[in-house]
């Protein structure tokens, strides 16, 4: 079964919503077009598109996609693929015009779209397509493919727990890269430390912080790790020098932009707190710490909303679970970092241990709980297949790493941050990578 796959020019295009610099636009004529010159190469649209319809032009550091041959359509010409097809298998037209051929065909024949459950309103409809072609995760994946090699980056085997259709075989793989990797995993950890330090800062005295570590510690930790977080975000762009476009042409619907605003605000209030502390305006410190804690919740949690905009990565999408999980992770990161200031603090040890156990519980639900789509189920099955050298990232990060960290919290608390944050990084890497492994095309 050969299936022509291209951009669906979706009615509710998630790629347009997530693009932080409005490089993607839904035109009045329905075409979803991309301005390559405006693109900063964040690859968020590639995570948002459930159809694998966007790829990165490495030479330009910018995304590219089918634009329905807008330059031809504007001159009343048909798209090039329509003209070149020898058997008229591709029929362009306007579904809103009841007299168009595509509208007639839709009435006469049963048509199907790819992944309707995503609610994107795809506008490429198929006649007579096989179910195996509509579900790219189902066909069996032999050791070698008919029309391409098995791509080298897909080092993970297909999870044995997932059902496959043995009478349908994958014959070609477009060799899509896994775009978000260790940088995003590290960003989740550093952001958690920054946010957690601020979230715990109003309770710094009760948690056993004294002297300079009480006065300046929470803000210095929060500011330092938030700066590292911002550095990681910028470094991950294919055009890091163009990050300023998020300021000059922001898309306020994108959680990348909303997250950027929250991070900026956070840094400003942290600097203000440090400045007032320095100048001895101590009466303002506690109210400001409460403000920092509230913004810290936003810093920790906004990623749940960003990941929910990634319609192509269903494992990341359940924000009702991801949001509390991120807040728990941030609290754990804050507590383990504060433990460096006072390793004898039992309140900090208890918070670190309880949140670490809650983190394990949430991660287990993420893997074994109900999943809303087949793609999410596949992503969850991949979690325990992700490796970093000899380590199984999910299993070792979650069970071995957390168990060692708890022993360190109890007996060597000063350096317990090393195993705990290392374990969290391994887990985040598995989560970020596994979400991108289920095939979309
Ligand atoms: S989400 Fe994908 S298929 Fe839909 S308009 Fe965007 S690029 Fe095209
Ligand atoms: S890579 Fe980023 S900036 Fe470029 S089009 Fe996609 S979402 Fe927009
Ligand atoms: S030829 Fe034009 S319409 Fe056809 S897939 Fe390419 S860009 Fe899209």
Distance from Cα 48 to the centre of ligand 2, integer Å: 10
Cα(174) to centroid of ligand 1, in Å? Answer: 17
Rounded distance from Cα 376 to ligand 3 centre (Å): 30
Q: Which atom of ligand 3 is nearest to the CA of 84?
A: 1
Residue keyed to tokens 């932009």: 257
From the CA of 24, give the closest atom in ligand 1.
6
Among 6, 75, 78, the mutation site with the greatest number of ligand 3 atoms within 8 A of its Cβ is 6
**Domains of the chain as residue ranges with CATH:** 14-134 (3.30.70.20), 182-435 (1.20.1630.10)
Q: In angstroms, what is the span from residue 226 Cα to ligand 1's centroid?
A: 32
Token pair, residue 335, equals: 């507590």
Ligand 1 midpoint to CA 66 (Å) = 9
Q: From the CA of 6, which ligand is nearest? A: 3
Compute CA distances 67 → 119, 135, 415, whole Å. Answer: 21, 24, 53
Pocket of ligand 2 (CB under 6 A): 18-19, 21, 23-24, 34, 39-45, 63
Q: How far is the CA of 36 from the centre of ligand 2 (A)?
A: 9
- What are the residues facing 388 on neighbouring strands? 391
Q: Which two tokens stand for residue 294?
A: 């509230």
Q: Which residues contact residue 168 at a Cβ distance below 8 angstroms, ignoring those fewer than 6 apart?
A: 1, 130, 132, 138, 139, 140
Nearest CA to ligand 1 atom 8: 7
Backbone angles phi, psi at 66, to 5 degrees: -65, 130
What residues contact residue 152 under an 8 Å CB cut-off, 6+ apart? none
Ligand 1 centroid distance, CA of 31 (Å): 10
How high is the pLDDT of residue 145?
85
Q: 437 with 154: CB under 8 angstroms?
A: yes
Q: Whose CA is nearest to atom 7 of ligand 3?
A: 66
pLDDT tens series, the chain, 441 aa: 778 889 999 999 999 999 999 999 999 999 999 999 999 999 999 999 999 999 999 999 999 999 999 999 999 999 999 999 999 999 999 999 999 999 999 999 999 999 999 999 999 999 999 888 899 889 988 888 888 777 665 678 889 899 888 889 888 877 788 999 999 999 999 999 999 999 999 999 999 999 999 999 999 999 999 999 999 999 999 999 999 999 999 999 999 999 999 999 999 999 999 999 999 999 999 999 999 999 999 999 999 999 999 999 999 998 889 999 999 999 999 999 999 999 999 999 999 999 999 999 999 999 999 999 999 999 999 999 999 999 999 999 999 999 999 999 999 999 999 999 999 999 999 999 999 999 998
Task: Report the distance separating Cα 315 and Cα 50, nearest Å.
Answer: 12
Q: Which residues contact 136 (CB under 8 A, 6 or more apart)?
A: 170, 439, 440, 441
For the chain, the maximum distance between any two Cα atoms, rounded to a whole number of angstroms, is 80
Measured at the CA of 94, the angle between CA 91 and CA 99, to 5 degrees, comes to: 95
CA distance 68 to 247: 30
Whole-angstrom distance between the N-terminal and C-terminal Cα of the chain?
A: 13
Q: For a substitution probing ligand 2, which of 13, 38, 39 has the most ligand atoms within 8 Å of its CB?
A: 39
pTM: 0.95
If one residue of 19, 70, 120, 311 were mutated to test the ligand 1 pocket, choosing by the most ligand atoms within 8 A of its CB, it would be: 120
Ligand of minimum distance to the alpha carbon of 83: 3
Q: Is the dihedral of CA 30, 304, 223, 269 positive or negative?
A: positive
Whose C-alpha lies nearest to ligand 2, atom 4? 39
Closest to 72 measured CA to CA, from 88, 86, 84, 55: 84
Instruction: Ligand 1, residue 52: give the atom nearest the CA.
Output: 2
Q: Which two tokens stand for residue 222?
A: 């929060």
pLDDT of residue 152: 62
Residue nearest atom 3 of ligand 2, based on CA coordinates: 39
Query: Contact 121/15 with Cβ under 8 angstroms?
Result: no
Number of neighbours of residue 120 by Cβ within 10 angstroms: 23
> 119: CA distance to ligand 1 center in Å?
12
Q: Would you state the structure tokens that stand for residue 433, as one six-digit string?
A: 């990578």
- Considering every ligand atom shown, identify the ligand nearest to the alpha carbon of residue 67 and give its number: 3
Distance from C-alpha of 428 to C-alpha of 283, rounded to nearest angstrom: 39
Shortest-distance Cα residue to atom 7 of ligand 2: 19
**Both structure tokens of 38:** 């405006």
Res 154: pLDDT = 66
In sign, the C-alpha dihedral spanning 292, 296, 297, 303 is: positive
How far, in Å, CA of 263 to CA of 357, rounded? 28
């Amino acid at each position: 079964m050969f299936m022509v796959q291209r951009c669906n020019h979706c009615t509710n295009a998630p790629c347009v919503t997530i693009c932080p610099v409005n490089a993607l636009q839904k035109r009045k004529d329905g075409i979803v077009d991309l301005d390559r010159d405006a693109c900063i190469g964040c690859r968020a649209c590639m995570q948002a598109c459930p159809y694998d319809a966007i790829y990165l032009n490495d030479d330009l550091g910018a995304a590219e996609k089918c634009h329905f041959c807008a330059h031809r359509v504007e001159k009343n010409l048909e798209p090039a693929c329509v003209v070149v097809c020898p058997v008229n298998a591709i029929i362009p037209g306007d579904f809103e015009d009841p007299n168009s051929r595509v509208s007639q065909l839709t009435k006469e024949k049963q048509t199907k779209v790819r992944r309707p459950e995503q609610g994107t309103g795809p506008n490429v409809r198929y006649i007579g397509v096989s179910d195996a072609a509509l579900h790219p995760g189902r066909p069996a994946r032999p050791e070698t493919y008919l029309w391409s090699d098995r791509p080298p980056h897909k080092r993970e085997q297909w999870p044995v727990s997932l059902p496959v259709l043995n009478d349908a075989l994958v014959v070609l793989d477009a060799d899509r890269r896994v775009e978000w990797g260790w940088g995003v995993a590290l960003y989740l950890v550093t952001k958690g430390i920054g946010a957690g330090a601020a979230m715990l800062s109003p309770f710094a005295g009760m948690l056993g912080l004294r002297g300079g570590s009480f006065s300046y510690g929470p803000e210095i930790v929060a500011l330092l790790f938030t700066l590292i977080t911002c550095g990681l975000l910028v470094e991950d762009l294919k055009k890091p020098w163009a990050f300023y476009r998020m300021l000059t042409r922001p898309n306020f619907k994108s959680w990348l932009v909303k997250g950027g605003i929250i991070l900026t605000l956070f840094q400003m209030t942290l600097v203000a707190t440090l400045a007032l502390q320095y100048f001895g305006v101590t009466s303002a410190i506690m109210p400001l710490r409460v403000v920092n804690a509230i913004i810290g919740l936003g810093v920790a949690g906004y990623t749940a909303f960003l990941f929910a905009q990634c319609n192509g990565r269903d494992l990341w999408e359940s924000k009702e679970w991801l949001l509390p999980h991120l807040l728990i992770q941030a609290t754990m990161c804050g507590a383990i970092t504060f433990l460096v200031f006072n390793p004898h603090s039992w309140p900090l040890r208890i918070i670190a241990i309880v949140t670490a156990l809650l983190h394990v519980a949430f991660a287990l639900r993420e893997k074994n709980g109900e999943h809303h789509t087949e793609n999410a189920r596949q992503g969850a099955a991949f979690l325990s297949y992700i490796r970093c050298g000899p380590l199984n990232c999910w299993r070792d990060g979650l069970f071995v790493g957390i168990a060692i960290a708890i022993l360190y919290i109890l007996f060597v608390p000063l350096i317990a941050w090393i195993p705990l944050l290392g374990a969290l990084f391994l887990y985040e890497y598995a989560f970020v990578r596994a979400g991108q492994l289920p095939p979309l095309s």
